[in-house]
Amino acid sequence: ELKVEQNPLFLSMQEGKNYTIYCNYSTTSDRLYWYRQDPGKSLESLFVLLSNGAVKQEGRLMASLDTKARLSTLHITAAVHDLSATYFCAVDLGSQGNLIFGKGTKLSVKP
Amino acid sequence: SAVISQKPSRDICQRGTSLTIQCQVDSQVTMMFWYRQQPGQSLTLIATANQGSEATYESGFVIDKFPISRPNLTFSTLTVSNMSPEDSSIYLCSVGTGEGYTFGSGTRLTVV
């Protein structure tokens, strides 16, 4: 059974600080996704990582994928309050489109 | 990427009744996916809906409780049947879009 483990599950940061969210998964997959969810809202796609060594950056967020270690990271640089949300990683099991989600990391950025 | 229109956005329903959720996509897609997000939890796949065939349900989900229709390549419905308070969740549809997956805006269901 595929397991996707995110940590931390809760993260309280001060503005301007850096932090990394980790996503470990238990089986082979070359496709990993990061989503953002604001309270009461749907999921917004942040990053699509499709190969080993993939690194993508958008603003203060950078995501990477190491398929050999079965690990993805979401790095936050100089956090701002607008980044407060829940972040999910999801692993794609293949052509059937069955995404297995981590439990999510609830990020709170305080002034 | 595809744009999904999902409705209703929210509903409050009496136990024992049923609710049908609709998703309309602005392009033709082979597969549509239905997820459930229980309060404070992550997303769990309910079923995959292919046009012209019966939906494929994940472990723990059955057709009698969550019947799905897929009449064409741009539309699908999920019905939550004989509802109980435990069915209170956000239900989301999703489609593949080349590199990734797009989600509908979600239906927040409260069963009282």
- Residue A88, chain B, CB below 8 Å: the answer is yes
Whether A42 and B106 have beta carbons less than 8 Å apart is answered as: yes
In chain B, which residue's Cα lies nearest the Cα of A42? Answer: B105
- Convert the pLDDT of each residue in B28-55 to its tens digit: 998 999 999 999 899 999 999 988 888 9
Q: Where are the domains of chain B?
A: 4-105
Residue in B48, B104, B105 nearest the CB of A97 = B48
Whether B72 and B51 have beta carbons less than 8 Å apart is answered as: yes
Cα–Cα distance, A9 to A31 (Å, whole number): 22
Q: What's the N-to-C CA distance of chain B in angstroms?
A: 37
Q: Kindly report the average pLDDT of chain A as a whole number.
A: 92
Residue A111 pLDDT greater than 90, yes or no: no
Q: From residue A87, how far is each of A18, A46, A60, B27 by CA, in Å?
A: 16, 9, 14, 28
Residue A95 pLDDT greater than 70, yes or no: no
In 3-state terms chain A splits into helix, strand, coil percentages (rounded to 5) of: 5, 55, 40
Residue in B42, B99, B108 nearest the CB of A48 = B99
Q: pLDDT of chain B along its 112 residues, tens only?
A: 789 999 999 999 999 999 999 999 999 998 999 999 999 899 999 999 988 888 999 999 999 999 999 999 999 999 999 999 999 999 999 998 877 899 999 999 999 9
| Closest to A32 measured CA to CA, from B99, B29, B67, B79 | B99
Domains annotated on chain A, with CATH: 4-110 (2.60.40.10)
- Residue A102, chain B, CB below 8 Å: the answer is yes
CB contact under 8 A, B43 and A42: no
Q: What is the per-residue pLDDT for B109?
A: 97
CATH number, domain B4-105, options 3.40.50.300, 3.40.50.150, 2.60.40.10, 3.40.630.150: 2.60.40.10
- Convert the pLDDT of each residue in A67-91 to its tens digit: 999 999 999 999 999 999 999 999 9
